[in-house]
Structure 1
């Protein structure tokens, strides 16, 4: 029995979370507060962002949440702006985020595909934003499946969007590895009956992820070396 598919989370997995989203969030908070330091602090508290450190706190619901959930968080400090408008703004700004993968993606994905693995992405971001990010990174065509929270399959931690990947590719869920940086990813993977791979390129640390993961890797660049171990484990 061997793995036949790899399903990746996007933010914190394909792209390093802190390097990509901390600067993005800091700039967004500055723009939304329009020079008002008290408002900036209220926005930061609403989204669990540490203005002094310039980083999301691990408790932020935005880390693994959907774009809608992020908009609702921002709206708590900005009640004069409709949630729908904030959701549109976040999607527009997110599409321009300064993407920073933990390793060069093209050679890594080509190596994985060259081993006969089907590759997919399931993110709690919007599908349109995910596709823009993957296109910007030059890897959209490496994935045969791209889904967001708004693609009609639901959002993590539900296993439904993960099972949609397995069904679309004609793969048994047990032969798919769900790779992610949050408990949302791993809980969904376990519920779907998939192998669960945690990576540490997001805010969560080993102690939080390990109980839900079959393996914890520093980042996705370690996947090629881990795959032979995975095959041995599955056969066992």
Structure 2
């Protein structure tokens, strides 16, 4: 069955996770710790982030969870903050983070659109920062649909965002591929009845993605060749 649309995760898929989000982790922890580096280090252990190395653990809550869920984990360690305030700090830092594309995105997305594919983004980030990230590299207009965890369709690994994209573009989910770097992305794709493509520009290794993926590729730049070979 041909694929007529591609739905992308954002962080770790369109954008290289480690290159983009190391500075974000340090920024939010130092802000929440009011500049106290020792306290920031302790907060980092709570969310699976090594402040000194600027590196996330493979099971870090930041990788696939929503901002609300990350705030839930941090809240018991930040009695001076409300949940809403922690979310605001993270959303502000997220919107300001410099994005590092996994591949040259404009040319890549131009090629997909020229091939007649509908394109979308489904992320567990909030919608407003997600749109700002896409806009910051000049590709917001390439997508027919962008949804965050707060867009009204739920969050991954639930299939709500994915099925909303399918309805929006009027394409059977079986003719859509969900592309992502985490098990949450691929579980959502399977739940929605979509083809699943894993990529290795996040923190998950191939062995972790393969059981849930129809194919695992080094990065999204390999998708056109894979589509041609099907």
TM-score by length of 2: 0.97
Q: Distance in 2 between matches of 1:173 and 1:167?
A: 9
Is residue 106 from structure 1 mapped to residue 106 from structure 2 by the alignment?
Answer: yes
- Who is 2:218 aligned against? 218
1:121 aligned counterpart, secondary structure: strand
Deviation at 1:26, TM superposition (A): 1.5
| Contact map agreement 1:46 1:76 (CA 8 A) in 2 | no
2:18 aligned counterpart, secondary structure: helix
| Contact map agreement 1:39 1:77 (CA 8 A) in 2 | no
How many residues end up aligned between the 2 structures? 230
RMSD over aligned Cα, in angstroms?
1.1
Q: Distance in 1 between matches of 2:164 and 2:71?
A: 26
Point out where structure 2 has 5 or more consecutive residues left out of the alignment. none
Deviation at 1:54, TM superposition (A): 1.6
Q: Distance in 2 between matches of 1:46 and 1:117?
A: 41
Q: Deviations over 1:80-122 (max 9, x none)?
A: 2111111011111100101001111000000011100000000
Deviation at 1:11, TM superposition (A): 0.5
Deviation at 1:37, TM superposition (A): 3.6
- Who is 1:12 aligned against? 12
Following TM superposition, the consecutive aligned residue runs of length 4 or more in structure 1 with deviations greater than 6 angstroms are none
- Who is 2:120 aligned against? 120
| Contact map agreement 2:187 2:212 (CA 8 A) in 1 | yes
Q: Distance in 2 between matches of 1:14 and 1:76?
A: 33
Q: Deviations over 1:149-208 (max 9, x none)?
A: 111111100112101101111101010000000000000101111000000000111011
- Who is 2:30 aligned against? 30
Point out where structure 1 has 5 or more consecutive residues left out of the alignment. none
Q: Distance in 1 between matches of 2:33 and 2:134?
A: 30
